[in-house]
Amino acid sequence: MSSRFINWFKFSSPATFYPLASKIAWVSTLIAIVLIAIGLYMSFFVAPTDYKQGDGYRIIFVHVPASWMSMFLYVVMAGWAALGLVFNTRLSAMMAQAIAPTGAMFAFLSLWTGSFWGKPMWGTWWVWDARITSELILLFLYLGYMALRSAIDDPRRGDRASAILLLVGVVNIPIIYYSVKWWNTLHQGSTIKLNEESSMDDTMLLAMLIMTLGFWAYSIAVAMVRVRTIILERERSSNWVRDLVRGEN
């Protein structure tokens, strides 16, 4: 095979991935800090006040990125879980495990910020609307995955059982996404459409996209740091981990 191709399987070994994860984490942290700083500045100082919703609409600059990330991270997790089932690689399951708490956090923040937007705009903190209910189910799927993963003592069995739960739960993602189309809900339709022009002011849209990219970089950074701790925990009896920790102390 030509040397131009990267041997991806090489990185499926936790020992090889461990130092690489540290580099990715540092770069992503820097990108996240810069993008979120620009995004926050634009959210408050550049984006204009909405003629209808006043300043309350600014909540979307955290609500929409958090909601997108909660769905996106679930799909990435399920992808890793599927890879783990097919190739039986330890690292894949560790990656899924590393993403889960961050995904759960974004699902919670999506509901929390949505609720803080709903009170002034709809006059209620909560409704059992299709979009909101399916997002709540997403939060439960994350929590269920984490509970199942930690309830099984044998890590390899835990990996497989929780991977199946993750894959079954993927069905919820299109339900969340299309809920505003399929049902006549209180939650408004998609702001950003793939095939039409957006209904938003350009600076508002740009601020939202920059915040989303910032949240994305944040998620990568946190997942990389967490996967390193999971690798250490799970490979703690191996010689390379012992040597590594001994070298640091």
Partner 1 sequence: MPEALDMGKHALYVWGSFGATALFMIAEPLLLRARARNIRKRIARMARLDQEVNQ
Footprint of partner 1 (CB under 8 A): 44-45, 54-56, 58-59, 62-63, 66, 101-102, 105, 108-109, 112-113, 116-117, 119-120, 218, 221-222, 225-226, 228-229, 232-233, 236, 241-242, 245-246, 248-249
Q: Which is nearer to partner 1, 29 or 190 (CB)?
A: 29
CB of 94 to partner 1, least distance (A): 14
Nearest to 168 by CA among 78, 70, 85: 78
CB of 180 to partner 1, least distance (A): 20
Cα–Cα distance, 44 to 143 (Å, whole number): 33
Cα–Cα distance, 211 to 207 (Å, whole number): 6
Q: Which is nearer to partner 1, 53 or 172 (CB)?
A: 53
Cα–Cα distance, 93 to 121 (Å, whole number): 41
- What is the residue type of 73? L
CB of 152 to partner 1, least distance (A): 20
Nearest to 75 by CA among 219, 218, 179: 219
Q: Which is nearer to partner 1, 54 or 189 (CB)?
A: 54
* Residue 113 CA, distance from chain mean position: 16
CB of 238 to partner 1, least distance (A): 10
Backbone angles phi, psi at 50, to 5 degrees: -75, 140
Q: Which is nearer to partner 1, 23 or 119 (CB)?
A: 119
CB of 91 to partner 1, least distance (A): 17
